[in-house]
Amino acid sequence: MLTTPKLAPLNYYPYELGNGLRPDQIARNYYSDPTLDWLIWVVNGIVDPYYGWYLYDEDFKNYIDQKYGDLDTASQSIAFWRTNWPSDVNEITSDYFDRLDGSFKKYYEPVWGAKTKILSYRRKQDDLMMNTNKISKYSITMNSANNFANGELLHFYYSDVQIGFAECITANSTEIIVRNHVGNTSAGTIRSRASKLVNAEIVSITTMVNNIPDVEGKYWEYVSWWDVETEKNEGKRFIDLLDVNQVMPIAEEIRKALQ
């Protein structure tokens, strides 16, 4: 079994990918040998030379289109929810904290000063996650011959203005169950994102699961599959390159292990 040699910290250095460079081009530029691109893959644990490599703009767009259909679908398809403390840098006074509703206080932690004095409160740095914020059952009246499809995105309209969206879990001609509510999903007309001709009027709504109450929604954010794929791809932007003086000895060591 091939294992990558353990390298001391000074044997490699971080390299930021850019300008559409491929592994063979980097190997040519830094090691004067494009055939050493395989060593870059091995050092960085890359098994798939294409999808394991950082995808530049056009390649990344094509990947999203192939996997999710299009950018809008990937952006509105929710992977999970998480607390949004990294984007909330504001601190609040002790008096303001004391006046908060009890359900909001769990999202804050004290900022301590000298002699255990509380100076202020800031967002608690807890990475809380939920699969969905809410699951609801809708009684509906269909305005079209076709029903909604399981798993599709639904848009909510009021006076022809989109006010929210959610994901359909199950559907029939009189009832749908949806999850991952964003915006206003309690009034107006429901339309299929795939076809506006498939639409229905809301008769009544029953909340089945309420993981994140609406009043606490400001402390959370949804993470779309576009966000997931973007974060994953950006994590591949930095690679490790072996010091040029170490390349040939380590390449030879790996070649011997393959024999």
pLDDT of residue 10: 46
∠ CA 71-73-77, nearest 5°, is 120
Residue with tokens 């809008």: 72
Q: Among residues 236, 212, 32, which one has the least CA distance to residue 106?
A: 212
Prediction pTM value: 0.82
pLDDT of residue 112: 94
Mean pLDDT by 10 residues, the chain (259 residues): 49 84 91 89 86 92 94 94 96 96 95 92 96 98 94 93 96 97 93 92 97 96 97 93 80 71
Domain 134-210 has CATH 1.10.1760: no
Displacement of CA 32 from its chain's centroid (Å):
38
pLDDT of residue 3: 53
Domain positions in the chain are 9-54+235-258, 87-127, 134-210
Question: Hey, how many other C-beta atoms are within 10 angstroms of the C-beta on 50?
Answer: 9
Q: Angle, nearest 10°, between helix axes 225-234 and 57-68?
A: 140
